[in-house]
């Protein structure tokens, strides 16, 4: 194999031209959160654990009937996670507060996809099957999915579930934020619409955020001073307020930094316009050419001096 | 130095080959179960633990241990150290097979195996996995192209198909000759591309886990994870060549090639030393050494990885006596290979602990069977190929 001069410069010229295409190069990482996203405020002080939201979610999304009826309160005796047959679950916690009869006061926590402002799953997805939509939902397009489950690795809330028992066409299963319903005028997610105590408030994320702050301000001492999801992993579309500390209610403590930031910064820094591979190709090509020439002129000093 | 690779003229059906066949059969059963009952039927994977043995071993470790291919190609063909050409062919074969099996392993692991082509048309440039997949795809093609001359060398001027297939003799002969001549002219492009693609995806495999900062143990979670993956891939390349050359020459009764391996491994002192310095330095800078003696299985796995897999073999390689002794060199290189393999397993499996559900994971028997079956098939094909194609240096074959 020999590397001839013309061939080398032809290839490098073409590669160089590709790299020079008008470009700002690697820019600082910026959030791609939609400006006008919807959100939901969950007020845990209001939730009574009736599980109507679970039932409504099951119905509007056409999910399979549950093994135990939605009316059966014993379900709350075990902690559950959302799974491939239910996008949302309500868990009961006893963080330690007592009522006037010295009974532990329960706090109920509804879990579902948080619909992050800068979702790690969407950044990770190899084919872009998961995307953050303008209306705020993190949308899953099964038509693109190959089933690599990198979204599940990436999700800091451990939300996406998988149809592990489907051998050929398994899907990633998670809350859709009722994408179709909220895309319509005055549409509400199934859970927010049914909630009998208005524990779930649906609206523009800015609006529900302001509402959360208002409630904290209007009721001094009632809530802990923390809106979960305001800053966590760069912010989520679903936000929570509570009278109990979130770490006692199973919420993970997460950094404010958007999860995809580090990996995306490294990727784009190294591979924008493929500058580093092209540079490396050029350098290696140069070295190879020089060594070929040396060989031709018979000046090759072999690796004999080693060892 | 005369470098004269030849097919190995030895008996193919040995007891070892039958053992491989047994593992292949068991693996096949598990694969059938996977494609009838689903991933959940044969594995312990879950919502919280979506990646397990198949990604950690079949994919991540497979890619790392195939690094002998691009590191020897770079040395012999780009840096012009032609003395090392005898080891490029077996290393290339290992890489061809390694990457083929990475893809086969992925086919088992991904839920929609039939959709594996979709990343070609649905690009997500934000996704580290997308870049890895593209590089692996291109690199696999480059590897096959690099291997083609070996096939051509064996069969050109001797295409003799039996019976009616004889009609194809002339066209096949022409194709081989044509490919051989054409490739000879352009092979440099593929050789450099192979090295570039390898550097890209070897490092990016490390970037994969950067998306999960809250799940990966701090001993392994560092922004320089891609650099550590790249330098460890450089480090494991030549030890892997020593490892497999020693195994192959022993099991097939060939000359031991020590006159090439001894100088070759000197380079590893530098690459492994760099990896060691980066890894220890990173631990100091981030202050993660505070975890070292907390006695958890994660920390212990880290200690084994860094002491037995990096520090001990590096110190061994410093000694000329070790580099010249076949058994000591094999020991040191096995430790390095094991250390890098353990590093990949640690990063993808051991270091991973989901903080919300605290879900534990240990591979199911079905997962082990698939992985063992894939490795056995790889070894079987290696054996088959070196028996019938000019891969190993047969010129100094010793009789046994």
Q: A258 to chain B: nearest residue by CA?
A: B211
The reply to whether A306 touches chain B by the CB within 8 Å rule is yes
| C-alpha closest to that of B94 among B120, B122, B66, B118 | B66
The reply to whether A65 touches chain B by the CB within 8 Å rule is no
Q: Does B188 sit within 8 Å of A284, measured CB to CB?
A: no
DSSP for A213-258, please give it. HHHHHHSTTTS-S--BTTSGGG-BSEEEE-SS-GGGGTPPP--SS-
Domains identified in chain A, total number: 1
Quick one: how far is CA A122 from the chain centroid? Answer: 6
Q: Does A2 sit within 8 Å of B126, measured CB to CB?
A: no
* Greater pLDDT, A33 or B251: A33
Q: Does B81 sit within 8 Å of A303, measured CB to CB?
A: yes
Instruction: Give A102→chain B minimum CA distance, Å.
Output: 30
The reply to whether A307 touches chain B by the CB within 8 Å rule is yes
Nearest-angstrom CA–CA distance, B226 and B211: 12
Q: Which residues neighbour A221 within 8 Å (Cβ) at sequence distance 6 or greater?
A: none
Per-residue pLDDT tens, chain B, 400 aa: give them.
446 788 887 778 888 899 999 999 999 999 999 999 999 999 999 999 999 999 999 999 999 999 999 999 999 999 999 899 889 998 999 999 999 999 999 999 999 999 999 999 999 999 999 999 999 999 999 999 999 888 888 887 777 777 777 878 888 888 888 888 888 888 999 999 999 999 999 999 999 999 999 999 999 999 999 999 999 999 999 999 999 999 988 888 888 889 999 999 999 999 999 999 999 999 999 999 999 989 999 999 999 999 999 999 999 999 999 999 999 999 999 999 999 999 999 999 999 999 998 888 999 999 999 999 999 999 999 989 988 888 887 544 444 3
Has residue A5 been placed in a domain?
A: no
Instruction: Give B210→chain A minimum CA distance, Å.
Output: 6
Helix (H) or strand (E) holding B352: none
* Chain B residues whose beta carbon lies within 8 Å of the beta carbon of residue A277: 196-197, 199-200
Helix (H) or strand (E) holding B398: none
Has residue A307 been placed in a domain?
A: no
* Chain A residues whose beta carbon lies within 8 Å of the beta carbon of residue B118: 127, 144, 146
Structure tokens at B114: 């039939």
User: CB–CB of B169/B96 below 8 Å?
Assistant: no
Structure tokens at B19: 């053992």
Q: Does A148 sit within 8 Å of B125, measured CB to CB?
A: no
| Count of H-run helices and E-run strands, chain B | 16, 0
DSSP for A138-184, please give it. EEE-TTT-----HHHHH-TT---EE-TT-SSS--EE---TTHHHHHS
Nearest-angstrom CA–CA distance, B345 and A135: 40
Phi, psi of A127 (to 5 degrees): -115, 5
Q: Which residues neighbour A82 within 8 Å (Cβ) at sequence distance 6 or greater?
A: A88, A89, A111, A112, A113, A159, A161, A174, A175
Nearest-angstrom CA–CA distance, B330 and B247: 9
Nearest-angstrom CA–CA distance, B177 and B188: 18
Helices A261-271 and A275-296 pack at an angle, to 10 degrees, of: 40
pLDDT at position A171, please?
Answer: 97
Q: Does B39 sit within 8 Å of A164, measured CB to CB?
A: yes
pLDDT at position B156, please?
Answer: 78
Residues in chain A: 307
A149: domain range? 38-263
Has residue A299 been placed in a domain?
A: no
Q: Does A150 sit within 8 Å of B122, measured CB to CB?
A: no
Residue with tokens 């020991």: B331
Nearest-angstrom CA–CA distance, A189 and A179: 8
pLDDT at position A297, please?
Answer: 61
Instruction: Give B16→chain A minimum CA distance, Å.
Output: 33
pLDDT at position A13, please?
Answer: 63
pLDDT at position A296, please?
Answer: 66
Structure tokens at A48: 């009574």
Instruction: Give B194→chain A minimum CA distance, Å.
Output: 10
Strand A161-162 with A89-93, pairing? unpaired
Q: Which of B85, B125, B131, B196 to mutate to test the interface with A (most CBs of A within 10 A)?
A: B196
Tell whether the model's pLDDT for residue A299 goes beyond 70: no
* Chain A residues whose beta carbon lies within 8 Å of the beta carbon of residue B43: 164
DSSP letter at B356?
T
| C-alpha closest to that of B335 among B362, B366, B360, B314 | B314
Nearest-angstrom CA–CA distance, A198 and B335: 62
| C-alpha closest to that of B136 among B64, B71, B222 | B64
pLDDT at position B214, please?
Answer: 95
Has residue A287 been placed in a domain?
A: no
* Chain A residues whose beta carbon lies within 8 Å of the beta carbon of residue B127: 123-126, 128, 150
CATH number at residue A104: 3.30.70.20
Question: Across the interface, which of A128, A160, A280 has its CB nearest the CB of B124?
Answer: A128
Q: Does A303 sit within 8 Å of B130, measured CB to CB?
A: no
DSSP letter at A27?
P
User: CB–CB of A252/A156 below 8 Å?
Assistant: yes
Residues A148-161 pLDDT 10s: 999 999 999 999 99
Nearest-angstrom CA–CA distance, B347 and A224: 37
| Residues 102-161 (B) with a CB less than 8 A from some CB of A | 109-116, 118-119, 122-131, 133
Taking the CA atoms of B264, B93, B105 and A127 in sequence, report the sign of the dihedral they define.
positive
pLDDT at position A302, please?
Answer: 44
Residues A186-243 pLDDT 10s: 999 999 999 999 999 999 999 999 999 999 999 999 999 999 999 999 999 999 999 9
- In this prediction the ipTM stands at 0.92
Phi, psi of A222 (to 5 degrees): -75, -45
| C-alpha closest to that of A119 among A252, A237, A220, A2 | A237
Average of per-residue pLDDT across A235-262: 96
pLDDT at position A25, please?
Answer: 47
* Chain A residues whose beta carbon lies within 8 Å of the beta carbon of residue B110: 146-149
| C-alpha closest to that of A159 among A167, A169, A146, A149 | A149
* Chain B residues whose beta carbon lies within 8 Å of the beta carbon of residue A129: 122
Nearest-angstrom CA–CA distance, B240 and B331: 12
């Amino acid at each position: 194999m020999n590397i001839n001069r013309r061939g080398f410069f032809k290839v490098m010229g073409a590669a160089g031209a590709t790299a020079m295409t008008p470009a700002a190069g690697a820019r600082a990482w910026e959030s791609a959160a939609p400006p006008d996203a919807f959100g939901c405020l969950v007020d845990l002080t209001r939730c009574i654990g009736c599980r109507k939201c679970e039932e409504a979610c099951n119905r509007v999304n056409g999910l399979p009937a549950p093994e135990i009826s939605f009316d059966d309160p014993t379900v709350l005796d075990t902690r559950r996670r959302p799974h491939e047959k239910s996008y949302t679950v309500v868990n009961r916690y006893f963080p330690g507060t007592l009522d006037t009869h010295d009974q532990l006061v329960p706090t109920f926590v509804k879990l579902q996809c948080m619909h992050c402002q800068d979702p790690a799953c969407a950044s990770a997805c190899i084919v872009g099957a998961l995307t953050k939509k303008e209306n705020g939902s993190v949308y899953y397009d099964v038509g693109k999915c190959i089933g690599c489950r990198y979204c599940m690795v990436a999700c800091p809330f451990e939300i996406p579930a998988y149809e592990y028992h489907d051998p050929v066409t398994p899907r990633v299963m998670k809350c859709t934020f009722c994408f179709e319903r909220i895309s319509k005028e005055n549409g509400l997610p199934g859970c927010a619409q049914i909630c009998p105590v208005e524990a779930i408030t649906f609206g523009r994320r800015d609006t529900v955020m302001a509402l959360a702050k208002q409630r904290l301000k209007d009721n001094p001492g009632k809530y802990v001073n923390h809106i979960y999801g305001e800053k966590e992993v760069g912010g989520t579309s679903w936000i929570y307020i509570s009278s109990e500390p979130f770490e006692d209610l199973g919420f993970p403590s997460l950094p404010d930094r958007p999860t995809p930031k580090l990996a995306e910064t490294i990727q784009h820094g190294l591979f924008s316009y493929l500058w580093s591979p092209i540079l490396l190709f050029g350098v290696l090509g140069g070295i190879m050419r020089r060594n070929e020439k040396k060989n031709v002129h018979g000046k090759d000093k072999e690796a004999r001096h080693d060892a | 130095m005369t470098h004269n690779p030849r097919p190995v003229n030895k008996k193919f059906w040995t007891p070892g080959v039958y053992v491989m066949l047994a593992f292949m059969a068991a693996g096949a059963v598990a694969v059938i179960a996977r494609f009838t009952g689903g991933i959940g039927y044969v594995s312990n994977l879950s919502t919280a633990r979506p990646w397990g043995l198949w990604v950690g071993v079949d994919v991540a470790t497979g890619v790392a241990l195939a690094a002998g291919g691009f590191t020897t190609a770079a040395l012999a063909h780009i840096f012009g150290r032609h003395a090392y050409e005898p080891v490029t062919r077996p290393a290339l074969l290992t890489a061809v097979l390694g990457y083929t099996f990475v893809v086969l392993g992925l086919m088992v692991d991904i839920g929609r195996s039939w959709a594996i082509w979709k990343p070609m048309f649905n690009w997500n440039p934000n996704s580290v996995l997308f870049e890895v997949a593209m590089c692996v795809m291109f690199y696999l093609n480059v590897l096959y192209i690099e291997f083609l001359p070996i096939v051509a060398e064996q069969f050109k001027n001797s295409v003799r198909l039996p019976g009616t297939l004889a009609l194809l003799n002339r066209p096949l002969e022409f194709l081989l000759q044509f490919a051989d001549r054409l490739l000879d002219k352009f092979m440099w492009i593929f050789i450099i591309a192979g090295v570039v693609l390898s550097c890209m995806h070897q490092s990016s495999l490390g970037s994969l886990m950067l998306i999960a900062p809250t799940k990966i143990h701090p001993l392994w979670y560092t922004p320089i994870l891609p650099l550590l993956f790249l330098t460890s891939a450089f480090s494991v390349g030549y030890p892997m060549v020593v490892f497999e050359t020693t195994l192959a020459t022993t099991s097939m009764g060939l000359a031991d090639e020590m006159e090439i391996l001894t100088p070759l491994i000197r380079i590893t002192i530098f690459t492994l030393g760099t990896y060691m310095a980066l890894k220890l330095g990173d631990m100091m800078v981030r202050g993660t050494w505070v975890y070292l003696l907390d006695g958890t299985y994660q920390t212990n796995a880290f200690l084994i990885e860094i002491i037995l897999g990096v520090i001990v073999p590096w110190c061994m390689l410093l000694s000329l006596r070790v580099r010249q002794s076949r058994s000591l060199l094999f020991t040191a290189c096995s430790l390095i290979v094991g250390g890098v393999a353990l590093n990949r397993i640690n990063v993808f499996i051991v270091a991973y602990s989901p903080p919300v559900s605290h879900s534990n994971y240990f591979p199911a028997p079905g997962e082990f069977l698939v992985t063992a079956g894939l490795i056995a098939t790889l070894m079987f094909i290696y054996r088959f190929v070196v028996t019938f194609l000019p891969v190993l240096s047969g010129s100094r074959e010793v009789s046994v």
